[in-house]
A and B are shown apart, each in its own frame.
Chain A
Amino acid sequence: MSKARSPIFKIAKYTLLDEVRQKSLIIMFIICALFIFLIRSCYSGNYMVNGQTLDPGTVVQMMSKITFHVIAIGVMLLTALLAMRVLKRDRDDGMQSCILSKPITRRQYIAGKILGLWVLSTILMFTLHGIVFIITSLNLKAVLPEYLLASLLCSFNLLFVVIAVLLLSLLMPDVIAFLCVMGIGITGLVADGIFAVSHSQIAQAMVQQSGFPSDWTWWRVVYYLWPKLSGTEQFASSFIGSGVVHEFGSIYPLINILIYSFILGALLFRQFRHEDII
Chain B
Amino acid sequence: MIELNTATKRYGTLAAVDNVSFHVQAGEYFALLGPNGAGKTTIVKMLLDFTRPTSGSLSVNGFPSTNLASRIAVGYLAENYHIPPYLSGWQYLQRCAELLDISQADARDQCRHIVEQIGMQGRENTKVSTYSKGMIQRFGIGAVLIGNPQLLILDEPTSGLDPIGIREIRQLLESLKDQGMTIFLNSHLLSEVEKICDNAAIINRGKLLVKDTISSLVKNGDTLEDVFVRFIKG
Contacts and interface: CB of A to CB of B under 8 A. Distances in A.
Interface in B63-92: 68-69, 71-72, 74-76, 78, 81-86
Most chain B CB within a 10 A radius of its CB, from A10, A100, A101? A101
Contacts of B153: 101
A: contact size bracket: 20 to 34
B74 to A, nearest CB: 7
B72 A103 contact: yes
Nearest to A14: B95
B14 interface: no
Given A18-B86, A93-B84, A105-B68, A277 B98 contact: no
Contact of A102 (B71, B83, B86): B71
Nearest to A21: B86
Interface in A93-110: 93-95, 97-105
B143 interface: yes
Contacts of B164: none
Contacts of A97: 50, 76, 78
B105 interface: no
B33 to A, nearest CB: 22
Contacts of B51: 276-277
A101 B70 CA distance: 10
B50 A276 contact: yes
Contacts of B68: 103-105
A102 to B, nearest CB: 5
Given A276-B45, A277-B50, A101 B81 contact: no
Contacts of B49: 100
A105 B51 CA distance: 13
A115 to B, nearest CB: 16
A98 B96 contact: yes
A162 B111 CA distance: 34
Interface in A33-77: none
B109 interface: no
A103 B67 CA distance: 9
Contacts of B232: none
A241 interface: no
Most chain A CB within a 10 A radius of its CB, from B48, B96, B99, B101? B99
B100 interface: yes
Contacts of B85: 93
Given A21-B86, A276-B45, A103 B78 contact: no
23 contacts: A6-B101, A10-B99, A14-B95, A93-B82, A94-B78, A94-B82, A97-B76, A98-B76, A98-B96, A98-B143, A100-B48, A100-B49, A100-B50, A101-B48, A101-B76, A102-B71, A103-B68, A103-B72, A104-B99, A276-B45, A276-B50, A277-B45, A277-B51
Given A94-B83, A98-B96, A276-B50, 11 more contacts: A10-B99, A93-B84, A98-B78, A99-B99, A102-B99, A103-B68, A103-B69, A104-B68, A104-B99, A276-B51, A277-B45
Interface of B: 45, 48-51, 68-69, 71-72, 74-76, 78, 81-86, 95-96, 98-101, 143, 153
